[in-house]
Amino acid sequence: MNVSHLKTSARSLSSSVVVGMFDGRRPAPGTSTYARGQSAALAALEFEGKAGQVAVLTAPDGRRIVFVGLGDEVDVELLRQAAGLGRKAVAGADAIATTLHQVGLDGAISATVEGFGLADYRFERYKSTAKTRPELLLELVGGTVDTSDISTALITIDSVNLCRDLVNEPAAAKAPMAIAERLAAIASAGGLAVEIWDSARLGAERMGGMLGVGQGSDRPPALLKLHYRGRRPKAKLALVGKGIVFDSGGLSLKPADMMEAMKDDMAGGAAVAAATIAIASLGLPIEVISFSAFAENLPSGTAQRPGDVLEARNGKTIEVLNTDAEGRLVLADALALAAEAEPDLIVDLATLTGACKIALGPRIAGVFGNDQPAIDRVLAAGAAGGERLWPLPLPADHRPMIDSDVADMKNTGQGRYGGAIAAALLLNEFVGEVPWVHVDIAGPAFLDKAEQYLPKGGTGFGVRTLVELARSFG
């Protein structure tokens, strides 16, 4: 997407204009010129300016004018959503002018650009009828614009869309090593230090969880490590992502309909890598080490069996009673590795439990942790990035839920209840005393229906939260 700033609309190349209206059809800044004489038409469409409303009218000069509702009090996320709705209302337009960035909010420029750019996303690589689309031209008309806000937004868009592409890619095209190498190439071009650990290195490094999960597939696991060190870093942040490129459930086989979207089970691994690349591109004053644990969970004669015991990197043992609870096994190794780096904070992202999706629905991620200030920081970063997070408990007296008769712990809880807590309790065993926050993105990582600026399929959830988290240390 190309973004330009015009002081007036006189030089605009756009045949479509997106403007905002507050509740009661009150024009937002920059809207009055376009709203003049349109009151009756808007009333006929029952457009009142409520948040989420959209009305498309044709101006006397032939341009399409898209009015998007901002509600009574707009915030940055509602503005981002309004921009996304505006883009979708004129989905075929190659050039769009807007005045939404003039709304008097800190972050209005970035939110406007992000809303248009994220809503412009398409994944059409495998459609035989797909056409090459010209790059969208977005014209910000009027007001004062800081070009650094535009640059920041474009970096964020690119990173979120990178994550979306990887999640939407069919599992056959993203073997663990292949996806690690694809991300490594992008990261290396951006100046990051890169390591890929193959199965031999994983064995030498005592990564028993990753090897156990991956042994059922003939495409071996791979760990991607990215390292960025900004100038005069204010903190050291470790990011860990679950990267199951396809999850059949292993020998504890999922029902067929539950496998249909399981190409998305690597969304956490893609998000932490994409966020690290974005943080480096932004030049933020922080040190970041990210670990994406990629593996494939398939049933075969070599697959791990219920009742097997794995030894993770930190020496703790896990009895595998359900091979479909595999994400926590690869995360155990990666979290232990992250803790060894002695960061100020570890954050992991994982499409970990259906239980979290049942508890919070498809649009909200669950947050657990061992340190309240760290949890609060991550929640604030989610709010700043426009991603919805909700804290859930990690009670110490629930630890017996994962007690095992034969190992240090088991990879399941007690029956169907408290599944998200049980998974988080296991992860807690691998971070030591380092402040740690676990974000269960099973719901919002992949949507069945598009909304505002979010597409159907992979959403790139978590990338913006992690970028804002890194920014919070500066």
Residues known to be catalytic: 254, 328
Instruction: Note the Cα 451 to chain centre separation in Å.
Output: 15
The residue count of the chain comes to: 474
The angle, 0 to 180 degrees and rounded to 10, between the axes of the packed helices 147-168 and 108-119 is 30
Selection from 357, 366, 312 nearest residue 338 by Cα: 312
Cβ proximity of 19 and 99 under 8 Å: yes
Residues 6+ apart with CB under 8 A from 55: 41, 42, 45, 47, 66, 67
For 322-462, where are the alpha helices, taking DSSP H only? 327-340, 354-360, 372-385, 419-428
C-alpha distances (whole Å) from 176 to each of 196, 246, 435 are: 10, 10, 29
- Distance from C-alpha of 452 to C-alpha of 162, rounded to nearest angstrom: 19
Residue 114 φ then ψ, to 5°: -60, -45
The dihedral through the CA atoms of 141, 143, 146, 149 has a sign that is negative
Rounded Cα distance between 271 and 441, Å, is 10
Structure tokens given for 366: 């669950």
CA 130 to chain centre: 26
